[in-house]
């Protein structure tokens, strides 16, 4: 069987003293795409931040393992160096810092940590041209301040572009579909699909089946109130879409200790 890349073991986490994740377990093997679906406030975004080490989120129990080793003690950048990537739901703007300058620094920081030679400006630009085509990102955006004045669709495509540049082992995509029209959604999904490989795994967080029509997942998990209440194959997405989350809430209530 292929290697387990990311494993969440009975994970508990809180923010500002409020428990959000209440015993969540999940395992992603190489080559797999998992989707986590759930209603608002079920803990979906918290999950993405806890995996990648946001300092505002406190893990109170359980473990996050990357390739078999706990990464809870690692800084966000150390996790990134190991190959964890988060596509943000709402990417921040950084005025005065061009996308190219930022991304070249990021790519080289990651390469350094992996003992790979750094890219010079020419090699970086070649790679950037190639990868930006993947999500049809206007090359002009590379010289603009990071995400500043970008449309919602441009921000999302910029996230996938960065993912392509950084070549992560495990990618967490936090609602890559939010705010996108059908055409933009297809571009983002196609970009993500192009990055699937037998060596990588992805965790896609979404509300809607719509995304999964374009970006098919091997496993679907339904997250309610900080716990996974149901897991299944691709057909589960259709059920959720048809029935909403009400049944899942009941299931969660029933499962509560």
Partner 1 sequence: MGEEAQPARTSAEEMVAERGEYRYGFSTPIEADRLPPGLDEEVVRFISAKKGEPGWLLDWRLAAFRAWQQMEEPTWPHFTYGPIDYQGVSYYAAPKQKPQSLDEVDPEILEMFEKLGIPLQEREALAGVEPTIAVDAVLDSVSVKTTFRAKLAELGILFMSFGEAVREHPELVRKYLGSVVPHTDNYFAALNAAVFSDGSFVYVPKGVRCPMELSTYFRINEANTGQFERTLIIVEDGAYVSYLEGCTAPMRKDNQLHAAVVELVAHADATIKYSTVQNWFPGDKEGRGGVYNFVTKRGKCLGARSRISWTQVETGSAITWKYPSCILQGDDSVGEFYSVALTNNRQLADTGTKMIHLGRNTRSTIVSKGISAGRGQQTYRGLVQINKKAVGARNYTRCDSLLIGGACGAHTLPYVDVRNGSATVEHEASASRIGEDQLFYLRQRGLSEEDAVSMIVNGFCREVFKELPMEFAVEARRLLEVSLEGAVG
By the criterion CB under 8 A, which residues form the site for partner 1?
A: 52-56, 58-63, 70, 72-77, 79-81, 85-86, 88, 91-92, 94-97, 101-103, 105-107, 109-110, 113, 145, 162, 166
Which CB sits closer to partner 1, 148 or 190? Answer: 148
Which CB sits closer to partner 1, 73 or 140? Answer: 73
Minimum distance from residue 198 beta carbon to partner 1 (Å): 24
Sheet hosting strand 69-70, strand order edge to edge: 18-29, 4-15, 57-66, 69-70
Which CB sits closer to partner 1, 101 or 127? Answer: 101
Minimum distance from residue 61 beta carbon to partner 1 (Å): 7
Closest CA to 203 of 91, 35, 23: 35
Which CB sits closer to partner 1, 91 or 179? Answer: 91
DSSP-assigned letters across all residues of the chain = -PPEEEEEEEEEEEETTEEEEEEEEEEEETT-EEEEE--TTSSHHHHHHHHHT-TTEEEEEEEEEETTEE-TTS-HHHHHHHTEEEE-SSPPPEEEEEHHHHHHHHHHHHHHHTTPPPP-HHHHHHHHHHHHHHTT--GGGGGSEETTT--HHHHHHHHHHHHHHH--SEEEEE-TTTT--HHHHHHHHHHHHHT--TT-EEEEEES-HHHHHHS--SEEEEEETTEEEEEESTHHHHHHHHH-SHHHHHHHHHH--
Minimum distance from residue 11 beta carbon to partner 1 (Å): 10
Which CB sits closer to partner 1, 113 or 251? Answer: 113
Pair 76, 54: CB distance under 8 Å: yes
Gap between the Cα atoms of 256 and 31, Å rounded: 32
Minimum distance from residue 242 beta carbon to partner 1 (Å): 35
Minimum distance from residue 219 beta carbon to partner 1 (Å): 24
Which CB sits closer to partner 1, 4 or 60? Answer: 60
Minimum distance from residue 142 beta carbon to partner 1 (Å): 15
Minimum distance from residue 172 beta carbon to partner 1 (Å): 10
């Amino acid at each position: 069987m292929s290697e387990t890349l990311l494993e969440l073991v009975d994970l508990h986490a809180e923010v500002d003293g409020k428990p959000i994740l209440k015993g969540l377990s999940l395992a992603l093997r190489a080559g797999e795409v998992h989707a986590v679906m759930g209603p608002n406030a079920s803990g979906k975004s918290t999950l993405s931040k806890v995996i990648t080490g946001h300092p505002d989120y406190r893990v109170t129990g359980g473990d996050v393992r990357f390739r078999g080793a706990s990464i809870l003690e690692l800084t966000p950048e150390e996790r990134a160096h190991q190959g964890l990537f988060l596509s943000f739901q709402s990417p921040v703007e950084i005025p005065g810092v061009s996308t190219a300058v930022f991304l070249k620094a990021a790519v080289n920081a990651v390469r350094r940590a992996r003992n790979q030679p750094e890219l010079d400006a020419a090699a970086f630009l070649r790679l950037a041209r190639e990868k930006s085509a993947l999500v049809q990102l206007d090359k002009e955006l590379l010289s603009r301040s990071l995400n500043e004045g970008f449309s919602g669709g441009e921000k999302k495509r910029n996230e996938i572009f960065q993912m392509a540049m950084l070549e992560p082992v495990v990618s967490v995509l936090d609602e890559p579909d939010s705010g996108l029209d059908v055409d933009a959604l297809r571009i983002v999904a196609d970009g993500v699909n192009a990055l699937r490989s037998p060596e990588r795994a992805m965790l896609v967080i979404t509300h809607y089946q719509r995304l999964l029509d374009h970006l098919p997942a091997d496993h679907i998990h339904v997250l309610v109130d900080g716990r996974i209440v149901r897991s299944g194959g691709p057909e589960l997405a259709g059920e959720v879409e048809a029935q909403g989350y009400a049944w899942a809430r009941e299931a969660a209530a029933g499962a509560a200790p």
